[in-house]
């Protein structure tokens, strides 16, 4: 095994975990999920059946990543983030025809306590502010926040807010 799993974590033998990944205490990783190399899965994180996670992804404590979610490379998921996968949930037995997929693209950051309704895409290097509710697609490099989350600006690849069409003062890109 070339990844680290805390003794209290529950990782399915049918999950695929990449080299150098760390899975911390009380995390649960379900069968047929895929986690890339050098990821960090925090305390009490739940990763459902069939979730796909790229390389160098960081998922902070208490986040819930349900079936149908794909996180591309270099994504940051803050603490207590919740992804949904059913637009009209009921207590009846789960039927996979109700599954609605969600995509978080390369380099995006989702800050603490965000809820992401299923069926949406968060663009490359976009940033979602804390305690937001994502109800629609967020474009690449967008800074979005609120309930519902609305685009309020543009962020550089390095994460600094910039004016549209301008060069970043931090990384000069």
Residue range 58-76, pLDDT digits in tens: 999 999 999 999 999 999 9
User: What is the spatial distance between Cα 90 and Cα 93, in angstroms, rounded to a whole number?
Assistant: 8
> What dotted CATH number matches 4-162?
2.160.10.10
What are the structural domain ranges in the chain? 4-162
Distance of alpha carbon 148 from alpha carbon 155, whole angstroms: 19
Calpha distance 168→103 (Å, rounded):
26
CA-wise closest residue to 105 among 124, 132, 90, 86: 124
pTM of the predicted protein model: 0.95
Residue-wise pLDDT tens digits, 4-58: 999 999 999 999 999 999 999 999 999 999 999 999 999 999 999 999 999 999 9
């Amino acid at each position: 095994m070339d990844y680290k799993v805390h003794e209290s974590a529950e990782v399915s033998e049918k999950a695929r975990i990449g080299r150098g990944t760390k899975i911390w205490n009380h995390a649960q990783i379900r069968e047929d999920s895929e986690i890339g190399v050098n990821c960090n899965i925090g305390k009490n994180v739940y990763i459902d059946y069939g979730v796909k996670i790229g390389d160098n992804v960081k998922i902070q404590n208490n986040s819930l990543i349900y079936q149908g979610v794909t996180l591309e490379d270099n994504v940051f998921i803050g603490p207590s983030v919740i992804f949904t996968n059913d637009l009209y949930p009921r207590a009846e037995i789960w039927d996979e025809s109700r599954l609605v997929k969600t995509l978080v693209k390369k380099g995006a950051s989702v800050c603490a306590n965000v809820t992401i309704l299923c069926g949406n895409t968060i663009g490359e290097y976009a940033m979602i502010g804390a305690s937001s509710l994502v109800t629609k697609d967020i474009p690449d490099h967008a800074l979005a926040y609120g309930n519902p989350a609305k685009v309020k600006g543009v962020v550089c690849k390095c994460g600094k807010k910039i004016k549209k069409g301008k060069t970043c003062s931090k990384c000069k890109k």
